[in-house]
Amino acid sequence: MTPFLVAFALMIVTPLVYSMYLSLFRNQLMGGTTFAGFANYVTAFTDPKLWDGVGRVGLFLVVQVPIMLGIALIAALAIDSGRLHGKSFFRVALFLPYAVPGVVAVLMWGFMYDDRLGLTGSVNDLVGFPLIDPYTKQWILTAIGNIVTWEFVGYNMLILYAALKTVPLEIYEAAAIDGANQFRIVRSIKIPAVRGALVIATIFSILGSFQLFNEPTILKQIEPALISTYYTPNIYAYNLSFVGNQVSYAATVAIVMGLVTAVVAYVVQLRGTRREI
């Protein structure tokens, strides 16, 4: 137990406590660092930039996560069905994007989205009018969602597939004897079997959504005006700390976001497990 506690104290508790300590101060170019009590928290709760970012990742969460997990579930069921030829190929192929480093993936997509040199340009040339234009205010969040989905479908598919593999074969045999068709098996056996895994995948995805950073940060290099310095809470905290010299306020934003994420994840878990009973 002791080695664990030491690691836990060093890696988890210390940064948390230090962030909380930092969040009680105020950094100024003129005047240095002074004690500010809970003033940063008061600012944070009424900071339109922070809540703009929270709203955006919230929207992202509500739309992208169900789509991604839906695709992952369908893929897992397809591979598990035994009717798919070359299922190990598909399993690896779907998982492969997860193995691509996130930054590389975004650079790759960022290039494909380009309407002059990239795939988007070729498609638009083919149809003769600007059919898709990811680098616009209306589409940029969708474009980010597409990248994130591409990156993480395979990962989630594996979680669900692993859960499907734990279903004892006898149950399928019994179902077959009872005359259940494939759809009935999926609805009554497979989906209930993966519910627990689905809750876990959902919670991971919620954490991922609230921490959205890489994709918009890299796309900002391509279209600076489309992605603001407070596009997501993490980007906001990063800019406050490393560009705006407001380390303490950045720590406050990080703590507030930690709380928001914890609450949302907890609610989802409660809901998920309640339905399981």
Task: Give the residues lining the site for another protein (CB under 8 A).
Answer: 15-16, 18-19, 21-22, 25, 27-34, 102-103, 106-107, 111, 114, 116-117, 137, 213-214, 217-218, 220-226, 228-230, 234, 237-239, 241-248, 250-251, 254
What whole-number distance in Å separates Cα of residue 66 and Cα of residue 76? Answer: 15
Distances (CA, A) of 87 to 67, 69, 182: 22, 19, 18
Nearest CB to another protein, comparing residues 60 and 230: 230
Q: Could you say which DSSP state residue 132 is in? A: -
What whole-number distance in Å separates Cα of residue 69 and Cα of residue 156? Answer: 7
The CB-of-5 to another protein minimum distance in angstroms stands at 19
Nearest CB to another protein, comparing residues 50 and 199: 50
The CB-of-270 to another protein minimum distance in angstroms stands at 27
Q: List CB contacts of 163: < 8 A, sequence separation 6 or more.
A: 193, 194, 196, 197
Q: Do residues 137 and 228 make contact, with C-beta atoms less than 8 angstroms apart?
A: no
The CB-of-98 to another protein minimum distance in angstroms stands at 16
Query: Which tokens go with 235?
Result: 């980007």
The CB-of-29 to another protein minimum distance in angstroms stands at 4
Q: List CB contacts of 9: < 8 A, sequence separation 6 or more.
A: none
The CB-of-190 to another protein minimum distance in angstroms stands at 36
The CB-of-139 to another protein minimum distance in angstroms stands at 13
Q: Do residues 104 and 98 make contact, with C-beta atoms less than 8 angstroms apart?
A: no
Q: Do residues 27 and 247 make contact, with C-beta atoms less than 8 angstroms apart?
A: yes
Nearest CB to another protein, comparing residues 107 and 189: 107
Q: Could you say which DSSP state residue 243 is in? A: T
Nearest CB to another protein, comparing residues 62 and 100: 100
The CB-of-31 to another protein minimum distance in angstroms stands at 4
Q: Do residues 72 and 58 make contact, with C-beta atoms less than 8 angstroms apart?
A: no
Q: Do residues 171 and 185 make contact, with C-beta atoms less than 8 angstroms apart?
A: no
Nearest CB to another protein, comparing residues 122 and 245: 245
Nearest CB to another protein, comparing residues 72 and 254: 254
Q: Do residues 256 and 45 make contact, with C-beta atoms less than 8 angstroms apart?
A: yes
Nearest CB to another protein, comparing residues 72 and 140: 140
